[in-house]
Amino acid sequence: MRKLRNLAICMGLTTSLSINAVVNAETVELDLDIDKITVSGLSSGGYMANQFHIAYSDWVKGAAIIAAGPYYCAQGSITTALSECVNKQSAEFSLDVLTNQLSQYAEQGLIAPLSHLQDSKVWLLHGKLDAKISPPVANALYQQYQGLVKDENLTYIKDKPFAHHFPTLATGSSCDTSESPFLGNCNYDAAGELLNFLYPDLTAPSAASSGQIKQIDQHELGGDPAESMAEKGFVYVPKSCAQGEECQVHVNFHGCNQNAQTIGQDYIKNNGLNRWADNNQLIILYPQTTTSMMLPMNPQGCWDWWGYTDKNYATAQGKQLQAVKNIVKSLAVQSKSKG
């Protein structure tokens, strides 16, 4: 079975394909259009969404990023990550080194040609009360995308009184508080705002989600590059997708201390993405990190945006980037989880 999956990935089966994915010991028929996908993420997941977008911009048509900084901000160093890319950066942020690295990676073929980014859609959000990511860091991400994306395809929301979290209509902690599970009760539908920007003409959601959250085997579907990730990940499958309608894929990356190992399915169930997915033929993939006190050290369950897996972490050769790409493509072939 694994050989069949790997063969299909190598053959580039990225268009609309019918699959049988066995999840939670239950067979689900899916017909997925993965010719183009979109991504989103919060905090370390925002950095990861940005890396995924940049590395595979010939495949990823849009990205939504909450509370994160520019591509390659950490420059392969946890020291740089903590001193320049979180909340200690108070001066204006220079993008020169990062811009040069982007160009070098593109010239070396380690990321997709930067020209693919021009027509991408990019939605950015940074809360005014965010004490984890400083304004200069968030602004630098916007400035970086300004040089890569057409003006009409880029939006930056920075005037909302949000702390460091994923803002929701009615779930989570107080909007001015950043605490587990890092959902903010802000009377603001960040899920709907970002999806409506990435996908035009969406149908309004129902009051509550009606699909199902399925468990998948990330190590099986992601292959060897998934070694630093959790064994199990999750995918939200709307009823229409389970019943055979063609559906697209949106990948959402959680933040630090927000993986299922730490908070269960609170983030997956309550961020608001699933209810929008139901009426719009979208499956939502929720890949998962693992919290580890062993090498590679990852005590807070963050995505690799500073190089704890290897020096290629931000490129198309990055292990976690490859793993998530493999998982998406594996959803378009016959595969089996151990759930």
Tens-place pLDDT, residues 207-235: 888 899 999 999 999 999 999 999 999 99
164 is catalytic: yes
Residue 94 has pLDDT above 70, yes or no: yes
The reported pLDDT for the residue numbered 152 is 97
Q: Which of 53, 126, 164, 254 is catalytic?
A: 164
Confidence of residue 29 (pLDDT cuts 50, 70, 90): low
Chain-wide mean pLDDT for the chain? 90
What is the percentage of the chain residues whose pLDDT exceeds 70?
89
Q: Which of 43, 44, 120, 335 is catalytic?
A: 43
User: C-alpha distances in angstroms, 259 versus 78, 180, 249, 262, 339?
Assistant: 20, 11, 20, 5, 18
The reported pLDDT for the residue numbered 317 is 98
Distance, in Å, from the CA atom of 78 to the CA atom of 17, rounded to the nearest integer, reads 41
More confident residue, 254 or 31: 254
Confidence of residue 333 (pLDDT cuts 50, 70, 90): low
Structure pTM? 0.91
Collect all residues with Cβ–Cβ distance below 8 Å to 157 and sequence separation of at least 6: 123, 124, 125, 126, 193
The reported pLDDT for the residue numbered 92 is 75
130 is catalytic: yes
Residue pLDDT, tens place only, 137-177: 999 999 999 999 999 999 999 999 999 999 999 999 999 99
Distance, in Å, from the CA atom of 281 to the CA atom of 287, rounded to the nearest integer, reads 19
Collect all residues with Cβ–Cβ distance below 8 Å to 202 and sequence separation of at least 6: 195, 196, 276, 279, 280
Domain range for 186: 2-336
Domain count, the chain: 1
CA 113, 118, 119 angle in degrees (round to 5)?
Answer: 115
Q: Which of 44, 130, 165, 209 is catalytic?
A: 130
User: C-alpha distances in angstroms, 318 versus 51, 186, 230?
Assistant: 9, 35, 16
